[in-house]
Amino acid sequence: MTIRTKRPPLLPVLTGLVAAAAALSLWGAPTVSAQGQTARYLPEYAANGDLLLPKNFNEWIYLGSPLTPDGLNGGAAGFPEFHNVYIEPGSYRIYKETGAFPEGTILFKELQRVMAPEYPDGSRDEPSGRGFFPGALNGADVSVKDSVRYAETGGWGFFNFNHGEPKLTQAPVRSNAECAGCHTANADTDMVFTRFYRLLDR
Ligand code: HEC
């Protein structure tokens, strides 16, 4: 009798478990396909052809932060900051699948000074040790893949959104001499320095 009274509740529990499992597998499938269909953020332009400052780059895929402080470059580095690099997530997914940067890929390099140096090499002491620590933001460099629009600069357009804060809201494309030439000569994968970004290095 005790068993009989306890049995019925098991059925709803089991049914519930089966339903939950089914729901989970149904939930799983659309999530995967939905990911593939997530809208990409593509470059936006002003009427004069300037690139508009990409939106929400801080929420993109973070690739890494090469650092070339003044203190290690004779007091005047060409790029005296952390270079916090992000890639637009939809383009990242395509790159991971195909090994190629799709048209419309945006790479965003936010510049960030080191915190006030205490030693000649530019380093300072913090509770974690002596080193280089992120300080004031200092503008941004951006590259956009578009092999038609930017054919003259190797298929990528290069833009500087101010060296210093605040960032410009739009920026004109730069020349081979200013930007693209060095990337063409020295970068690894389609003008991008993938050797510094573990997520992109193949
Ligand atoms: C003298 C060579 C050189 C010049 C000139 C140069 N870059 Fe770069 N750029 C690099 C190197 C090296 C990296 C990766 C390591 C780093 O940031 O220190 C890089 C990284 C980048 C990245 C991150 C994605 C990537 O390709 O690795 C962007 C975006 C970028 N540069 C934009 C620009 C823009 C915009 C200009 C011109 C205003 C410019 N660069 C000029 C050498 C150069």
Looking at the structure, do residues 189 and 160 belong to the same domain, yes or no? Answer: yes
160 Cβ closer than 6 Å to some ligand 1 atom? yes
Ligand 1 centre to CA of 25 (Å) is 44
Looking at the structure, do residues 81 and 160 belong to the same domain, yes or no? Answer: yes
| Separation in Å, CA 10 to CA 2, 14, 16 | 13, 6, 10
φ/ψ of 162, rounded to 5, equals 85, 140
Looking at the structure, do residues 149 and 124 belong to the same domain, yes or no? Answer: yes
Looking at the structure, do residues 32 and 59 belong to the same domain, yes or no? Answer: no
Question: What domain range includes position 65?
Answer: 51-196
Positive or negative, the Cα torsion across 173, 177, 182, 185?
A: positive
Note if the bond before 172 is cis, omega within 30 degrees.
no
Ligand 1 centre to CA of 179 (Å) is 7
pLDDT digits (tens, 9 = 90+) for 142-161: 999 999 999 999 999 999 99
CA distance 99 to 82: 27
pLDDT digits (tens, 9 = 90+) for 165-182: 999 999 999 999 999 999
pLDDT digits (tens, 9 = 90+) for 50-100: 999 999 999 999 999 999 989 899 989 888 899 999 999 999 999 999 999
CA distance 197 to 59: 17
Q: Confirm whether 20 is domain-assigned.
A: yes
Q: Confirm whether 201 is domain-assigned.
A: no
179 Cβ closer than 6 Å to some ligand 1 atom? yes
CA distance 126 to 139: 25
- Global pTM? 0.84
Domain count, the chain: 2
Nearest CA to ligand 1 atom 6: 179
162 Cβ closer than 6 Å to some ligand 1 atom? no
Looking at the structure, do residues 68 and 131 belong to the same domain, yes or no? Answer: yes
